Structures are given as structure tokens and as C-alpha cells.
Amino acid sequence: NAGVMQNPRHLVRRRGQEARLRCSPMKGHSHVYWYRQLPEEGLKFMVYLQKENIIDESGMPKERFSAEFPKEGPSILRIQQVVRGDSAAYFCASSYSGTKDEQFFGPGTRLTVL
């Protein structure tokens, strides 16, 4: 049973470009969460999605950031017009149910904005 997959593992973008981060949950999991980890800091909740629905996006910046989890395919975290402050590790996690189950984390995508 493959774990949570994320790609790319490393992404370099110049200021103003777009970044697309992908997350495939564990098989059988339909709940996906995105977290951001700035260097030397903890994990900050960004958004919680189920298939085709955003359940809680209270941790997402209001502008430039969006997330989706389509019926088919991976969840996507999209950052438009990236700035240097967006440089961070972005982790995706998945869980089997939405009732306080263990969340399994992916390996993360390390975004560097030049």
C-alpha cells in the first residue's frame, strides 16, 4: 500500500511565476490536508479537502493560493505569482475518515522562490 505521494519533491520558481504542487492520498483515503512549514518553524494548517469539496480553508492566504481535490486525480495546491515569502516546505496529509483519524504525511514539496 503506497503512502501519500507528493510531487515534485523540489520546485524552484522565480518571483511572479506559478507553482503547482500535487498530492495523491493513500489508497482508500478521501480526506486531504495541506500544511506549510517555514524554515525552522512548525506546521501550519492551510486547507482541508474531500473529493470535489473544500471543507475548511481557514488557513489559506486570501490571495494567490487555491486548492482543489477533483473527482479524479491528485489534490493540487496552486500558488500564483509567487513571492520569496512563499519559500517553504508544503506537506500534504491524508486520512481515512473525517472523524479525528490519524493523518499520514507525504514527503513534502520544498518550494524555493528566487
Binding site for other proteins (CB under 8 A): 31, 33, 35, 41-45, 48, 55-56, 58, 91, 93, 95, 98-108
CB of 35 to other proteins, least distance (A): 8
CB of 45 to other proteins, least distance (A): 6
Report angle CA 47, 52, 53 to the nearest 5 degrees. Answer: 45
Distance CA 14, CA 17 (A): 6
The residue (of 71 and 97) whose beta carbon lies closer to other proteins is 97
CB of 14 to other proteins, least distance (A): 24
The residue (of 58 and 84) whose beta carbon lies closer to other proteins is 58
Cα 99 from chain centroid (whole Å): 20
The residue (of 19 and 46) whose beta carbon lies closer to other proteins is 46
How many CB atoms sit inside 10 A of residue 41's CB? 10
32: β partners: 49, 94
